[in-house]
Structures are given as C-alpha cells and as structure tokens.
Homo-oligomer: A and B are copies of this chain.
Amino acid sequence: MNPAAPTPLGHCRWAIAEGYIPPTSSDPDDPRLVSHEAACLLNCNSEEAHVSLHIYFKDREPAGPFRVTVPARRTLHLRFNDLSDPESIPRDTPYASVIESDVPIVVQHTRLDSRQAALALMSTIAYAGDAH
C-alpha cells in the first residue's frame, strides 16, 4: 500500500498547556462517556513512532517519562486517564504535557467533560515546537 504521506508530516515535539481530568462523570459505566482528556497522535510514517510524555504541574516536579508506541500508519487516541507508568495522573488537578517523538507526528488535544448530564467538548491542535 502506498500511504498518504510520502514526506514526513508533523513535528517531533508538541506541548499542550491545558490539562484537567474532571473528577466525576454522569455515567461512569460507559467508557465512551467518562470524563476524559486525550492526546490524539497521528503517525503517517512508514516506521513506528516512539513517543514519550512528561506531565507538568503547578507545585511539583514533572512526572514521566510515560512511553507509548504508535505503529506505522496508525493513530492512537491516548487518554491521559489511562496512564499509569510511572504513575497515574491525578484527577481534578491542573496539568500540562510535553510530547516528544523520534519521528514526526501530529497531536490534537480533546476533553470530554461529563460531570453533568449534558456533556461538553473542547478540542484544539496542540502547540508544535521545532522539529529538531
């Protein structure tokens, strides 16, 4: 198969300055509707992307690295809720994240907030640092 992107698409370093996992959900039994934050990672390359994340806080040293692999020509919608190694992300706590990859990727940030019966959504392209 001839994938869509013949030349690298993306950057190797990204940042998301906003981060907050709501502490509650209106329907905690449906994983699709659990309050969550995600970093959507897109790897258009023909080789896998080795990605590391560091999480920044208001009043403690950063946590990480958290490591995930995105296979070649795949997307991974990584929920911050699911991170557990080397530690889990505290709920109801502001944070930020820096995402680094050994090959260019594209990163988008999304939150689903279902603290109330009516869910709310937000999404933005992440900040693309220099592709150094």
- Point out residues on A near B: beta carbons under 8 Å: 1, 3-5, 7, 9-10, 13, 15-20, 32-33, 38, 40-42, 44, 52, 54, 56-59, 61-62, 64-65, 73-77, 92, 94-96, 98, 100, 106-111, 113, 115-130, 132
The docked-state distance in angstroms from the alpha carbon of A124 to that of B113 is: 16
Copies of the chain in the assembly:
4
Chain B residues near A41 (CB, 8 Å)?
Answer: 17
Residue of B42, B94, B107 near A75 (CB, 8 A) is B94
Contact B122 A125 (CB under 8 A): no
Contact A32 B76 (CB under 8 A): no
Contacts A74-B56, A125-B126; A40 near B17 (Cβ below 8 A): yes
